[in-house]
Amino acid sequence: MDFVAIDFETANSLRSSVCSVGVVVVKNGKIHEEVQTLINPLSEFHYFNTRVHGITENMVQDAPTFEEFWPQLKPYIDKQMIIAHNASFDIGVLKESVGRCYETQPEYQYSCSYRIAKKVWPDLYNHKLSTVANYLSISLKHHDALEDARAAALIVLEAMKKTRTSSINELSHLHKIKIGDSVTLKKPNSRAKISIEDKPLTYIETQINEPNPRHPFYGAHIVFTGKMDSMTRSSAAQYAVDRGAICKGAVDVDTNFLIVGDQALTKYVEGVKSSKMLKAEALIQKGIPLEIVGEQDFLKLVRH
C-alpha cells in the first residue's frame, strides 16, 4: 500500500505552466507526508484557469519556478508508483515540465484514481474527483493541489479496502486497469477528424455586408469544441462569420482560435481534453500563434 499521489494546477493551456503542486505520500496504507507549494510558471495566467483554482500571477511572484523546485520534487517521483485523478493530464504536465527544464525524465509507474473509481464504483453518475470524494465522505476543496492529491490517495485506499487488495498492482490486475510507466509514455493521437456537427460550419456565409476589419475575428480561422451552454455551435459560428471569421472543423497550423464550450472548459482545466484541445496544445508548444478561448470570452468578443 505504498504510493505517491500528485496533483498539478496550471496557469494556462500549456502543460508546462505549473502554478501549484500537491504531493501526498502513502506508506503502509496511511498518509505519511504531504507537500504543497505554489510555482511561478514564468508564463501568463488565463482567466478560466484562475477562475477554477483561484491562483493569480501576483500570488506566485515569490514562488520557486518548476526548475528550482524540481530537486525537491524528484525524490517523491523517481522510482515510485504515482497516482493522480485523470492521470493522463498530471503525467503529461510532469513530463512537459521536466522536459522544459532539460532534465532527465524520472522513472516511475502510474495509475489513475479516476479509472480505479470507475471500476470499483460503476454506478456513480460520474467519476469526477468531487463526485467520488463526496460519495466516500472525503473532505475536499476542489482544485487545491494538495486537497486534490489527498482525495485521490484516499479514493485509492478506499478502493483497496473495498476490493480487499493490498497494492496498486493487485487492484489494477483485479479490474484489468493498465499500469503506465515513464518509459512507454506515448504521445496522444492528434490526427484531425471533422465531426458531423462541424461539417456544416464551413458553409456558413456572413449575413453582414461589410464585417469590421478591425475585429479580432476578422480573417481568423476558428474551430469549436465542446457543447456550448449559451447557443448552438452553428449559431456561434454564424456570429463568428459575421465578424469576418472562417470557421473550420479541425485544428491545423492555420487555426487562430479554438473556442471551448463552458462544459468542456471545466473538463479541460481538470485534464479531460478533446482531440482538438490536444492538437491545439501541441501546435502552441511549437510556437503556432493559436489561442484557446472559453465560451464566455467568445461571447464578449462577438459582442464587441
| pLDDT tens-digit series, residues 180-191 | 888 765 444 444
Dmax (CA) of the chain:
70
In the chain, what percentage of residues exceed pLDDT 90? 43
Higher pLDDT, 205 or 172: 172
Number of neighbouring beta carbons within 10 Å of residue 77: 20
Higher pLDDT, 178 or 190: 178
Confidence category of residue 200, pLDDT binned at 50, 70, 90: low
Residue pair 4/80 in contact by the 8 Å Cβ criterion:
yes
194 pLDDT exceeds 60?
no
Residue 198 in this model has a pLDDT that exceeds 60: no
More confident residue, 80 or 192: 80
pLDDT for 62 beyond 50: yes
Question: What is the rounded average pLDDT of the residues 15-35?
Answer: 94
Give pLDDT, residue 12: 85
* pLDDT at residue 117, as a whole number: 93
pLDDT of the residue at 250? 84
- What's the pLDDT at 302? 79
The average pLDDT across 195-222 equals 74
Out of 30-39, 71-80, 235-244, least confident range:
235-244
- Examine the pLDDT at 113 and tell me if it is beyond 60: yes
Per-residue pLDDT tens digits for 259-294? 988 877 777 777 777 788 888 888 888 888 888 888
Mean model confidence pLDDT for the chain: 86
Q: Is the pLDDT of residue 120 over 70?
A: yes
Contact 5, 149 (CB under 8 A): yes
Query: Rounded mean pLDDT of 19-42?
Result: 95
Q: Which residue has the higher pLDDT, 93 or 270?
A: 93
Q: Which residues contact 92 (CB under 8 A, 6 or more apart)?
A: 15, 271
The long-range contacts involving 123-130, CB below 8 angstroms and separated by at least 24 positions, are 128/270, 129/85, 129/86, 129/155, 129/270
Q: What is the bridge-based pairing of β-strands 3-10 and 18-27?
A: antiparallel
127 with 216: CB under 8 angstroms? no
> Residue 7 — pLDDT band, cuts 50, 70, 90?
very high
Q: Between the CA of residue 94 and those of 20, 32, 111, what are the distances in Å? A: 12, 22, 14
Q: Please tell me the predicted confidence (pLDDT) of residue 91.
A: 92
Task: Give the highest mean pLDDT range of 36-45, 196-205, 208-217, 226-235.
Answer: 36-45
